[in-house]
């Protein structure tokens, strides 16, 4: 895309629809590709309209791929909607390897490093966290008790509190104010309370990863939960861990230990594992947990930030609350950043397999060898078949918000989402909850559900997550900084408390995709070094949702 301000755009030369870059009134005259026509409908920004008449059954192309078919005749200049378009995507098969790609110029980042926490296995963390995790939901209450005991006293309580707001409401009620008067009252913003001084200067936080799994479900779910928790324990951003087990659940300590050994055969981080049915009373369990966790924190605090090459970055690529601009602003900007990192020897993770529907052929052709391509296609086919069997295939992925903002079929959404992965070869295909072991572009099988997918990406080793959104979504991760990028300026200005970077500049013609990608990478380096704090970290958005391998799109 050029930096010239446009009002509509054809993304790929083979596309037979245009995207409105701003609201276009009915009757607007469009001059495109040697012809002139008037819009027969009002076209809201982010939505698509036909370049030529599309009769029933006509294939619709965006991003150069099949994204749907006309279910009713769409006039030239007519709006594409869920009423006149239905989902369609090309089939896929094992093709020839297409591994040639143009590596971007990385001169602006030559010799740059970030300040990270070096681990014995050679990985480098962008943070230094202690995690406290239950092996089964029965221990969630004990986890919460530990949180109440540790967080504030050790200096990790987040600054923002709304207790003052509640006190003001109480005063109004006690003064005899009516409900209407209370609702119309001006509540003075509570002052931020400064964080108490941290006892451990090199520990960035103590995080508590509650969940609802570990027993009562399938053995597959409990086993993968152990794998996910092992991914967090061995994660470069994690200094050590406290694990609470009840004792009788499916997710046994022995399974967790085997999963840790798979990921790090020489694991040597501080690890506290306590089983309530062996220890006895709840009081004794908590006392031991507090003492042993404190001792582990003392040890973990000995590690300080040191310079590390950018090749030690492993970036998770995520999107949520996507809109019609996602695939032409923030996502391709991340794609360029991905290519930069891969060129420099780093790793990137592209996940959300339901949102790769329609681009399977391109991605499988980019896999480095036949076995890798076959694994990708097998995972896509099996996942979709499992969803179809329960009446909700990949075609059901777009949310009402996606549809409202122009992503009316899964293939339209997917073709734009895949842009986050750039153009480099696929070096590995991973199934949840496997860990990244190779540099380059990794494909990780996860749902499109953003919190489940982000949780999985971090479990796979992402030490930074870049999260694009067009509608705005408040989410983060307990141990990995999640950087939010807006696809449009209006949303960035409306929700500045949760968004870090605006990519609407691309839509407005003020910045190229390449310029935005480099700007994002500059910020990533600051975050990785502890010099900048993303909004998700400031707000304590510590979302952790393990994926149950049933149908979650």
For residue 79, give the nearest of 88, 67, 70, 90 by alpha carbon: 70
Contact residues for 190 (Cβ-Cβ < 8 A; gap 6+): 160, 161, 162, 163, 164, 165
* Res 192: pLDDT: 56
* Res 190: pLDDT: 61
User: What is the SS3 assignment for 80-117?
Assistant: CCCCCEECCCCCCCCCCCCCCCCCCCCHHHCCCEEEEE
Contact residues for 366 (Cβ-Cβ < 8 A; gap 6+): 98, 99, 424, 425, 426, 441
Q: What phi and psi, each to the nearest 5 degrees, are found at residue 295?
A: -65, -40
Helix (H, G, I), strand (E, B) or coil at 297: helix
Q: Residue 315 to residues 115, 142, 213, 246, 447: CA-CA distances in angstroms?
A: 16, 33, 27, 34, 18
User: CB atoms < 10 A from the CB of 371, how many?
Assistant: 10
Overall average pLDDT of the 63-86 stretch: 95
Q: 315: which 2 tokens?
A: 């970036």
Find out whether 435 and 263 touch, Cβ atoms under 8 Å.
yes
What Rg, from alpha-carbon coordinates, does the chain have?
A: 25
Q: What phi and psi, each to the nearest 5 degrees, are found at residue 344?
A: -90, 5
Find out whether 266 and 121 touch, Cβ atoms under 8 Å.
yes
Q: 485: which 2 tokens?
A: 């990028």
Using the predicted structure, report yes or no on whether residue 4 has a pLDDT greater than 50: no
* Res 503: pLDDT: 98
Overall average pLDDT of the 247-251 stretch: 96
Contact residues for 287 (Cβ-Cβ < 8 A; gap 6+): none
* Res 409: pLDDT: 87
Question: How much of the chain, in percent, has pLDDT values that exceed 70?
Answer: 96
Overall average pLDDT of the 313-317 stretch: 98
Question: What is the per-residue DSSP string for 484-545?
Answer: EEESSHHHHHH-TTT--EE-HHHHTTSS-HHHHHHHHHHHHHHHHTTS---HHHHTT-----
Using the predicted structure, report yes or no on whether residue 157 has a pLDDT greater than 90: no
pLDDT tens, residue by residue, 380-419: 999 988 888 877 777 666 778 888 877 888 889 889 999 9
pLDDT tens, residue by residue, 515-527: 999 999 999 999 9
pLDDT tens, residue by residue, 171-227: 999 999 999 999 999 887 665 555 558 999 999 999 999 999 999 889 999 999 999
Using the predicted structure, report yes or no on whether residue 500 has a pLDDT greater than 80: yes
Overall average pLDDT of the 274-293 stretch: 97
Which residues lie across from 467 on neighbouring strands?
318, 484
Find out whether 317 and 336 touch, Cβ atoms under 8 Å.
no
**Binning pLDDT at 50, 70 and 90, where does residue 261 land?**
very high
pLDDT tens, residue by residue, 103-118: 999 999 999 999 999 9
* Least confidently predicted of 154-168, 270-284, 333-347, 418-432: 154-168
Question: How much of the chain, in percent, has pLDDT values that exceed 90?
Answer: 86
pLDDT tens, residue by residue, 93-150: 999 999 999 999 999 999 999 999 999 999 999 999 999 999 999 999 999 999 999 9
Overall average pLDDT of the 426-433 stretch: 98
Using the predicted structure, report yes or no on whether residue 427 has a pLDDT greater than 50: yes
**Binning pLDDT at 50, 70 and 90, where does residue 2 land?**
very low
Q: 483: which 2 tokens?
A: 């950087």
Average pLDDT in the chain? 94
* Res 1: pLDDT: 40
For residue 86, give the nearest of 403, 553, 325 by alpha carbon: 403
Overall average pLDDT of the 325-352 stretch: 97
Overall average pLDDT of the 301-307 stretch: 97
Contact residues for 381 (Cβ-Cβ < 8 A; gap 6+): none
Overall average pLDDT of the 16-31 stretch: 96
């Amino acid at each position: 895309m050029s930096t010239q301000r446009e009002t509509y755009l054809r993304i790929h030369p083979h596309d037979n629809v245009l995207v409105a870059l701003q609201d276009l009134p009915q009757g607007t005259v469009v001059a495109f590709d040697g012809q002139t026509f008037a819009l027969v409908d009002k076209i809201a920004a982010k939505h698509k309209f036909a370049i030529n008449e599309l009769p029933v059954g006509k294939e619709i192309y965006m991003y150069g791929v099949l994204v749907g078919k006309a279910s009713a005749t769409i006039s030239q200049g007519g709006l594409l909607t869920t009423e006149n378009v239905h989902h369609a995507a090309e089939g896929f098969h094992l093709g020839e390897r297409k591994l040639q790609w143009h590596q971007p110029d990385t001169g602006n980042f030559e010799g740059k490093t970030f300040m990270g926490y070096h681990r014995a296995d050679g990985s480098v963390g962008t943070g230094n966290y202690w995690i406290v995790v239950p092996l089964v939901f029965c221990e969630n209450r004990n986890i919460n008790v530990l949180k109440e005991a540790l967080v504030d006293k050790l200096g990790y309580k987040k600054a923002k509190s709304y207790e003052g707001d509640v006190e003001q409401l109480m005063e109004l009620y006690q003064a005899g104010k009516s409900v209407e008067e209370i609702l119309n009252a001006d509540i003075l913003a509570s002052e931020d309370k400064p964080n108490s001084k941290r006892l451990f200067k090199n520990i960035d936080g103590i995080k508590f990863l509650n969940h609802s799994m570990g027993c009562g479900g399938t053995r597959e779910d409990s086993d993968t939960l152990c794998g996910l928790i092992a991914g967090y324990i061995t994660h470069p951003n994690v200094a050590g861990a406290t694990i609470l087990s009840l004792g009788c659940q499916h997710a046994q300590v022995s399974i967790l230990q085997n999963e840790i050994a798979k990921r790090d055969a020489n694991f040597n981080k501080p690890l506290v594992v306590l089983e309530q049915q062996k220890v006895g009373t709840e009081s004794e369990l908590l006392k031991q947990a507090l003492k042993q966790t404190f001792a582990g924190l003392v040890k973990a605090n000995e590690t300080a930030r040191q310079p590390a090459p950018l090749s030690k970055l492993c970036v998770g690529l995520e999107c949520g609350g996507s809109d019609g601009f996602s695939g032409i602003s923030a996502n391709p900007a991340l794609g360029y950043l991905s290519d930069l990192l891969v060129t420099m020897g780093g790793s990137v993770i592209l996940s959300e397999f339901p949102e790769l529907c329609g681009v399977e052929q391109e991605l499988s052709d980019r896999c480095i060898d036949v076995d890798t391509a076959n694994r990708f296609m097998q995972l896509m086919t099996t996942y979709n078949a499992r969803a179809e069997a329960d009446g909700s295939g990949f075609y059901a992925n777009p949310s009402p918000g996606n549809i409202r903002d122009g992503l009316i079929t899964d293939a339209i959404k997917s073709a734009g989402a895949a842009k986050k992965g750039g153009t480099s070869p696929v070096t590995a295909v991973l199934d949840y909850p496997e860990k990244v072991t190779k540099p380059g572009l990794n494909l990780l099988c996860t749902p499109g559900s953003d919190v489940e997918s982000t949780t999985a990406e971090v479990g796979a080793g992402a030490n930074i997550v870049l999260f694009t959104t067009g509608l705005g979504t408040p989410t983060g991760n307990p141990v990995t900084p999640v950087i939010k990028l807006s696809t449009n300026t209006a949303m960035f200005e409306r929700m500045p408390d949760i968004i870090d970077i605006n990519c609407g500049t691309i839509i407005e013609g003020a910045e190229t995709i390449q310029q935005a990608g480099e700007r994002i990478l500059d910020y990533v380096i600051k975050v990785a070094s502890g010099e900048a704090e993303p909004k998700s970290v400031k707000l304590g958005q510590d979302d952790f949702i393990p994926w149950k391998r049933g149908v979650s799109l």
